[in-house]
Amino acid sequence: MQGFIRNTMLAAAVAGLMSVGAAAQSSATGSSSTQDSSKAASSAGSSQLSAADQKFVKKAAQGGMAEVELGKLATQKASSDDVKKFGQRMVDDHTKANDQLKQIAGNKGISLPTDLDAKDQALKDRLSKLEGEQFDRAYMKNMVRDHTKDVSEFRKESTSAKDSDLKNFASQTLPTLEDHLKEAKNIAPKGDKQAMKEKPAAGQTSQQ
């Protein structure tokens, strides 16, 4: 009789231990699942750029693409060797910067534009119809204006970007853009002086 009672108690104890083990395993599984979900959410959150950073990425990509396309046009249509060389530098430097930006955007899950926007396409179409010195003046004037804006935007992003990769990209690209602007200003006046000769002073009419 005592043996029977002892066996019954032992069986109950074993069953209790098994129940406790199963509960602990279930709890551990639930905890692990919660941690995994938390990690996934954290990872997803870290890959999202702020609205300002996303705007910069897309604007920089669009502008860089335009610089490459217009640079190619300059190598074909410019009459000045300086303008041709500048155009080739735009192709080389901005292609390199665009590739770096694509890699960063890909890592952040951001899709970049693949076509020129309407404004840049209109400019390309207008420049395509110009020849010789007319093209040189219009192209270089645009390069001074665009790079003045680019330098300002990249300088701001280099200090205010929330994403460290973008901040580094802006900081590393800024000196190149500043050099582009300096070179564009040095080339542009050659065409602007000629344009001033052809343009009558304010309030006057040209005389034949």
Residue 196 token pair: 């001033």
The secondary structure element, H or E, covering residue 160 is helix 132-160
Domain assignments of the chain as residue spans, ordered by start: 51-196
pLDDT at 135: 96
In this predicted model, what pLDDT tens digit does every residue of 29-60 receive, in sequence order?
554 444 444 443 333 334 478 899 999 999 99
What's the confidence (pLDDT) of residue 21? 53
Residue with more model confidence, 149 or 2: 149
When the pLDDT of each residue in the chain is averaged and rounded to a whole number, the result is: 80
Span 173-182, average pLDDT: 97
What CA–CA distance (Å, rounded) separates 198 from 71? 26
Per-residue confidence (pLDDT) for residue 25, from 0 to 100:
53
State pTM to two decimals: 0.68
Which CATH homologous superfamily contains domain 51-196? Ferritin, core subunit, four-helix bundle (1.20.1260.10)
Is the pLDDT at 157 greater than 80? The verdict is: yes
Rounded Cα gap, residues 131 and 116, in angstroms: 22
Q: Cα dist. 127→33, 66, 93, 120 in Å?
A: 59, 12, 21, 11
